[in-house]
Structure 1
Amino acid sequence: MGKGIHQLDLVVIGEVLKKKRREQHKILEDLADEKVSTSTLSNIERGLPIVNADKIYYYAHKLGVDLDEYAKVLKQTSQKNERFDLILTSIQNSIDLGDMEEGLERLQSLSIPESSVYHVHKLYLLGRYYLIKKRLQKSQAYFSDTLRLVDRYPSLAKTNLKAVCYYDLSRVFYYKNQFQNALSYTEQGINSFVPGGGKKHIIHSLRLGKAIYLEKLDRLDESLQTLDEMWADYDAIKSIYVLLNIYDIKSNILKKQKRFKEAIGIALEGIEWARVNLVYERSFELWTTLGSIYLQLNELEEAENCVKTALSLKKKIGNEYLFVNSYTQLGLLNIKKEKWEEAYAALQEAVRLGEKTNDAQKYTNALIVLGDWYQLRQKYPEAVRTYQKANELAIKHGFTKQRKMALLELSKCWKQLDEAEFVSSLESLFEVELQLLQDRIL
């Protein structure tokens, strides 16, 4: 037996032999004989480690391929590939952390044949560039092209590029406020993850994404179960950002389940980790979450302390969508304290940022609380317009619970203004209640 078989990846051997067979316009049946069946030849071409090496050499010889000689060529190719891998890693680093435009320019300057495996990497990086730029349609198109091609190259399986691409594609749909699609792509990413392959961290990001999207869809028990599974694997999670998100989402879910003491404990533990690691955005979110818990408990001084602590970090935060909940809470807090002007200013800012940043769920919640302000001040026409806008957003994005809230408050306002509209609003509210009942039964 020659030594080349030990130097070659079985998947690469399979790809080489399959390509050679196709160049000769032959099918497996043409090459099968008493020594190698069609199923054996298929296993060789798929790179499965269940075929005797002698049979691999035998098949290669039938196709005129010298595997020992090919091993030498492959070694030289491998060295070139390692250099190219480093270039692509450098470009991704520029796109993610450095000068994005320089990274894009370098990427586009690379001359990569469409038949090359590196063309798939290039498509993925283009998708990533446009994702960060929030040009979602272009990003989606590049990720879809990547997924369309990735299975043509078995050698890519162990890189986990497919799982990474599904993760980023799920984020595209998250930014589009399409949480069901985001969940679907995340689950496909989890299913395509290859344990022991590259980018081991991505499995934790995928599971976190699953928990986030389930929480957004009000499937709280499933989200909490996913988080608990991640918690059991705590020591394997290397990303502080993933860990802090676990704290924040878990605290939010426990709050929604009225498990306030547990929610406060989890939030405070996360706050400490965020402080020690200087992770400003997660600290901001955790203080906001803690404030929302105290607000629900009607402990207003504690709630105000938390919200103001969060907003003291504002200059450190790059993502404006994070401010929407904080200003909504500040507005609600001031409503409870009957500081009407301060409440109105905070809610106007929450609505402005919600519309600007396209976070539909946060925007809808901000509109509902602003509608509450108008209603409490007996400004019923303004309240109606605000609740109607929240209702339209809830319909568009499938936010059934927010729609119920908007319709309930809208009905109260119509009762003061128009009997016919009041009845119509109650009928819509009844339909939503039936939908929620059906969802609970299912």
Structure 2
Amino acid sequence: MKTLALHEIGEVIRKVRKDRGLRLEDLADENISPATVSNIERGVAHVSPEKISYLLEKLDLPMHKLPEMLVQEQEELKKVKFKLLTIATLRKTGFIDEALDLLEELNLEESHPYIAHAYYFKAKCYMGKRKWKQAERALYNALRISQQNPYKENNMEAASYLLLGLISYYRNDIEQALEFTNNGIEAFVEDGENRHIKALLYRNKGVYLQRTGRITEGIQLVHEIWEQIPLMDDIGTALGFYWLRSEFSRLSGLLDEAIEIATEGIEISRRNKQYDSMCDLWTVLGSVYTAKKEWDLAETSFKMALKLEGKFPEDQRLTTVYTRLGILYMKQGRNENAYGALEKAIKYAEKFNDTSRLSTSLIMMGDLCQIIDKTDEAISHYQKALEIAQKQGYKEKEFKAWFSLARCFDGKDEQEFQNCMRNMYNVKKEFNRKEVEFLEESI
């Protein structure tokens, strides 16, 4: 028997046992254990054909009747799959409570072939309501079941890791997000179902690498998957790679390449009305032109990104647009415009609890306040950024905040100045310790 045939036979045996109200233990005897019965139901390949035949005899299930029973079982599974499709559509279109009600009505047992899918969709519903703990519990259940199931081709394990990574990202734990995503990539079955999961895993990994400043790793990842982009069935995911490549090109100084990729991506997103991707790509373009000191093109690019506000659900990306626009205005000496842009950046970052972007925006606002001689306000912004950086472990931003505070106190409050310098030293010492540990581990 092939693995798939074993899986299907196991589904029939499980259904017959459940219909008769029998437990695993009720079918066990001196010849077959409850664990073996469970393995047969789950389609574990190493179970001997003799054990399967023995169990079929105990249940009075002749082998010649199995094809007919398999057809019946598959028809019932199709109905469940249809309901899951309905649930997924309701969730995607914003009817989350209705989707959750339908999931409860399904009331699938823990041994049902689609129970991991049910937990997965429940997690997506809770994520839509930003109920991270409930979503996490549902995903750990999906993960547990999919890891126990020898039939890996549905890629539910990889999909569960994908969403766990997203939850960690929304909680500002980028390192944990990377770990979950790498687990998902490792668990992905190439010839299995839900092949779009692989592209999502790689795209998300690229985003996390960008957020942690790992430019070389990010460039390598994007180049590895670039030729597969035309084969992706989701245009939003494909455009995510256009944004990643243009952003990594910008960060590595390949400005002309960044312009070429971003422009191509904007054309694709415009034709397909992908407004969120269009916003991202115009933002990259604005940042590139800022680096090239082409101020008019930079401002036009950022304003094009902001014209898309309201075309997609509000999220953290608007923080980036307003922060980079504020930086542009600061470089031009347009301080009043810069102040207004950075105020909006801080507002959006606070709204979405985006601590990484919030700390950056606060530091930039502090720098601006120093320029316009609002030292007390600058100190307040730096202290808020420092508190976030210390709480979240953003060492580079903590160092920057201490340095900026030292600049505020220099020549005005010697004690505070020395305190800032001491803390800068302590942060730098922590950097050096980690560098030594890295070198020792790489020997």
Instruction: Quickly name the TM-score band, shorter chain normalised.
Output: 0.7 to 0.9
Listed one character per residue, the Cα deviations across residues 160-200 of structure 1 (whole Å, up to 9, x for unaligned) are: 12211111111111100101111111111112212222111
Match of 1:256 in 2: 251
**What secondary structure is seen at the aligned counterpart in 2 of 1:233?**
helix
Tell me, yes or no, if the aligned pair for 2:123 and 2:134 is still in contact at 8 Å.
yes
What is the deviation of 1:21? 7.4
Tell me, yes or no, if the aligned pair for 1:21 and 1:63 is still in contact at 8 Å.
no
In structure 2, distance between residues paired with 1:284 and 1:142? 33
Tell me whether 1:110 sits opposite 2:113 in the alignment: no
**What secondary structure is seen at the aligned counterpart in 1 of 2:88?**
helix
What is the deviation of 1:63? 5.1
In structure 2, distance between residues paired with 1:231 and 1:179? 24
What is the deviation of 1:417? 3.1
Aligned pair partner of 1:162 in 157, 167, 172? 157
Q: 1:350-361 counterparts in 2 under 5 A?
A: 350-361=345-356
In structure 1, distance between residues paired with 2:300 and 2:364? 20
Aligned pairs, number: 427
In structure 2, distance between residues paired with 1:283 and 1:262? 18
Tell me, yes or no, if the aligned pair for 1:60 and 1:67 is still in contact at 8 Å.
no
Q: Which stretch has the larger CA shift, 259-268 or 272-281?
A: 259-268
Tell me whether 1:126 sits opposite 2:126 in the alignment: no
Listed one character per residue, the Cα deviations across residues 330-388 of structure 1 (whole Å, up to 9, x for unaligned) are: 22222222222222111111111111111222111111110011111121121111111
Tell me, yes or no, if the aligned pair for 2:9 and 2:66 is still in contact at 8 Å.
no
In structure 1, distance between residues paired with 2:430 and 2:263? 37
Match of 2:77 in 1: 81
Q: Does the C-alpha gap of structure 1 residues 188 and 431 become closer, same or farther in structure 2, counting only changes over 3 Å?
A: same
Q: 1:164-313 counterparts in 2 under 5 A?
A: 164-313=159-308
- Taking structure 1 as the reference length, the TM-score comes to 0.87
What is the deviation of 1:410? 1.8
In structure 2, distance between residues paired with 1:297 and 1:6? 61
Letter in 2 for 1:179: I
Tell me, yes or no, if the aligned pair for 2:326 and 2:342 is still in contact at 8 Å.
yes
What is the deviation of 1:309? 1.3
In structure 2, distance between residues paired with 1:283 and 1:374? 32
Structure 1 residues without counterparts, runs of 5 or longer: 33-39
In structure 2, distance between residues paired with 1:50 and 1:120? 23
Q: Does the C-alpha gap of structure 1 residues 172 and 61 become closer, same or farther in structure 2, counting only changes over 3 Å?
A: closer
What is the deviation of 1:203? 0.6
Match of 1:142 in 2: 138
Tell me whether 1:71 sits opposite 2:70 in the alignment: no
Match of 1:404 in 2: 399
Tell me, yes or no, if the aligned pair for 1:57 and 1:67 is still in contact at 8 Å.
no
Match of 1:25 in 2: 28
Q: 1:411-426 counterparts in 2 under 5 A?
A: 411-426=406-421
In structure 2, distance between residues paired with 1:289 and 1:421? 39
**What secondary structure is seen at the aligned counterpart in 2 of 1:158?**
coil
In structure 2, distance between residues paired with 1:403 and 1:272? 39
What is the deviation of 1:69? 2.3
Please tell me the root mean square deviation across aligned C-alpha atoms, in Å. 2.9
Q: Does the C-alpha gap of structure 1 residues 117 and 41 become closer, same or farther in structure 2, counting only changes over 3 Å?
A: closer
Q: Which stretch has the larger CA shift, 40-49 or 379-388?
A: 40-49
In structure 1, distance between residues paired with 2:339 and 2:403? 21
Q: Which stretch has the larger CA shift, 105-114 or 142-151?
A: 105-114
